[in-house]
Structure 1
Amino acid sequence: MQIYRFDTPTLAGLRRHEAPIPRPQRGELLLRVRAVALNYRDLALLEGGLLQPRLKGAVPTSDAAAEVVEVGEEVDDFTPGERVIGLFHPRWLGGPKRRERAIGSYGYDRDGWLAEYKVVPREAVVRLPAELSDEQGATLPCAAVTAWNAVSGVGPGQTVLTLGSGGVSVFALQYAKAMGARVIATTSSAAKAERLRALGADAVINYREVPAWAEQVKALTAGQGVERVVEVGGPATIGQSLQAVAFHGEVVLVGFLGEAGAPLDYFELMGAGASLRSTNVGDRPMLEACVQATASAGIAPVIDRVFAFDEARAAFEHLASGRHFGKVVVRVGA
């Protein structure tokens, strides 16, 4: 079979290799990978900043949709031909968030999904409903579950602020609207603003034209601020997010699109009167709930572009360019 590995920690170092097709052991599934979705995390692991991969030369990517080809001994809950998607945290099957349950994440300390075949424990996948294509299903394990986690509990009469038009932010917009909430989004271009409005955003702020966008968020909420901020920017945006959130609202820390930014002032944090919550994607029940909600509500994951398997490096380069809107996907199977 064909797999990709980062022979060197650069985009140019992503190369194809031949490898034997693995065989499933007791309790395992042999999967034919159909589609893989990329995340900013995949690039951050290459840059070697806050995320330092423990496995050198790993097969990248954490998110995929696949078809069951063969089952190992004592597997009676999956059959060949079924479609599945993998858990972002294959060991976090439920229960509270604990550090040890994040061990063994794909592309970090075990090989990821950018391969034609993969063997995984049967507990590490969930079924993909017929309403969702392979490409759509591949986008769900990280970005969709993170967004689902981030906006959980919001509803009519509340306002959610999303930042940008990456995978998590677009999913958060879609889920928040499905829950009946109002959504204010930020973006960098008029073209992306139109697409965000088409997805249901009630107001869009161009942060290049309005650098102090928190003031406009307050103006759009009668001076109160938003009940929930889905914070994906990190150090560069957290200060504005704290100004935009309502007193007793919540800023959900999802990730970082850069490490540069002004130091966070303790009294600014305290004065915001809001709570901060750090997400770590989610567990298996959360993935199942997210998948079911996506299918039953008719939410179509937004895919910017689908690349062929032999165009995998170009897919990473497209993600790195920041020109994408929604998710970037690599089609693995025919």
Structure 2
Amino acid sequence: MKAFVMRTPGGLDRLEIADRADPGEPGPGEVRVALHATSLNYHDLLVATGQFPAADGRVLMSDGAGVVEAVGSGVTEFKPRDHVVSCFFPQWQDGLPQTPVGSFAGVPGDGIDGFAVSHAVRSVHAFTHAPNGWSYAEAATITTAGLTAWRALVSDGALKAGDVVLALGTGGVSIAALQIAKLMGAAVVITSSSDEKLERARALGADRVVNYRQHPDWGTKVRDWTGGRGVDHVLEIGGPGTLAQSIEAVRVGGHISLIGVLTGLGGEVPTGQLMTKQARLQGLIVGNRRQQQEFVAALNLSSIRPVIDRRFTFEQLPEALAYQERGVHFGKICVEW
């Protein structure tokens, strides 16, 4: 069978399609899944370009959606023909993480082989059901971006109707957060450097938008929009380069989810400002399987569909990653086969 793998030391010109042995039939507690789609995340780009070192020949991509072909003995949660979607941390089933998850040792497409492959046999705990009626590409957006937004706002943030959410940028996490927040009856502010993207965000329901290049003090502008109170939740995607403005925008006692590192892995934290706001700054990396199941249950009761910017074929995975690297997308980028 065909699989898309990376060759060390990494780089988009070092990706190749390789032949891999068929994984065979599932053993006890396992499922065999025919994969049909993946979606791209910043983490995948870091692995593919060698910025996150991975083993030579590693099968790429953390997100995977497909259909169950067979189940092993003892499996009752799934049956053949069920549509499923992968879990980012298959070893983290529920509750709080007991060990640091930042090593990515058990993450598909990084510490273990990913889902850019035709078939996979994995533990039953490596998947959840996909939302009813969703395409494979749509379902593939849940694993990383969708679950991150859900955990930030609902599982950790206890989002409620009437809250105000600030989401930075128009990538997969922020657009998913916009959709979740509007579903929950919250107001949403979106930032971007592109007026065209901001107008698209308005069309999806964003209540306020701000071009951060035109307004470098966007944190103050956002706070002013709330009458000086500040927003209840911030999805902080940028990292050290944007954190000060996020703290400026948040209300006293508000919640900042530190999700992204687009401006770097380290930098100065305005501790005095954070203390004065008495805000909660929480780092998070995706979520656990139970949270994904809760997210899917909520999606099954809604009319939400993920925003997919572009779709590529399996053979076009390097092209898709190059498109992602340009940073011009709105929502998710998917690969289907």
Contact 2:15–2:48 (CA under 8 A) maintained in structure 1? no
Equivalent residue, structure 2, for 1:28: 30
Instruction: Say whether the 8 Å CA contact 1:247–1:273 is kept in structure 2.
Output: yes
Letter in 2 for 1:238: L
- 1:141 corresponds in structure 2 to 143
Match of 1:240 in 2: 245
The size of the alignment, in residue pairs, is 330
1:38 aligned onto 2:40? yes
Q: What is the root-mean-square deviation of aligned Cα atoms in Å?
A: 1.6
1:282 aligns with 2:283: no
Give the TM-score of the pair, scaled to structure 2: 0.93
Matched position secondary structure for 1:157: coil
- Which range moved further: 302-311 or 23-32? 23-32
Shift of residue 78 of structure 1? 2.1
Give SS of 2:137's match. Answer: helix
1:266, distance to aligned residue in structure 2 (A)? 2.4
CA distance in 2, matches of 1:220, 1:44: 36
Deviations 1:105-157 (A, max 9, x none): 11221011111111111122111233211111000011111100111122222
- Bigger drift between 159-168 and 77-86 goes to 77-86
CA contact (8 A) 1:132 1:295 kept: no
What amino acid sits opposite 2:20 in the alignment?
A
1:315 Cα offset (Å)? 0.7
- Is the 8 Å Cα contact of residues 32 and 70 (structure 2) preserved in structure 1? yes
CA positional deviation for 1:103: 4.2
Distance 2:27 2:268 in 1: 50
What aligned pairs does 1:1-334 form with structure 2 within 5 A after superposition?
A: 1-8=1-8, 9-23=10-24, 24-47=26-49, 52-99=52-99, 103-152=105-154, 153-259=158-264, 263-332=268-337
CA-CA distance at 1:95 after TM superposition: 2.2
Secondary structure in structure 2 of the residue aligned to 1:236: coil
Rounded Cα–Cα distance in structure 2 between residues aligned with 1:165 and 1:263: 25
Structure 2 Cα separation of the partners of residues 78 and 221 of structure 1: 47
C-alpha contact 1:237 1:261 (8 A) present in aligned 2: no
Shift of 1:22: 0.5
Unpaired runs of 5+ residues, structure 2, are none
Aligned with 1:230: secondary structure? strand
2:240 is paired with a residue whose SS is helix
Shift of 1:47: 5.0
Are the aligned partners of 1:157 and 1:181 in contact in 2 as well (CA < 8 Å)? yes
Point out the more displaced range, 163-172 or 256-265.
Answer: 256-265
Moved more, 82-91 or 259-268: 259-268
Per-residue deviation, residues 150-192 of structure 1 (Å, max 9, x unmatched): 1112222221100000000001111011111111110111110
CA contact (8 A) 1:167 1:325 kept: yes
**Aligned 8 A contact 1:64 1:138 in 2:** yes
Q: CA deviation at 1:262?
A: 5.5
Deviations along 1:23-57, whole A, 9 cap, x unmatched? 222221111101101101111234555xx335343
**Equivalent residue of 1:313, what SS?**
helix
Output the CA distance in 2 between the equivalents of 1:258 and 1:126. 33
Conserved 8 A contact 1:159-1:226: yes
Letter in 2 for 1:17: A
Q: Deviations over 1:191-250 (max 9, x none)?
A: 101110011100000111111101110110111110110111111111110111111111
Specify the code of the residue in structure 2 equivalent to 1:77.
E
Contact 2:256 2:279 in 1 (8 A): yes
Q: What amino acid is the match of 1:13?
A: R
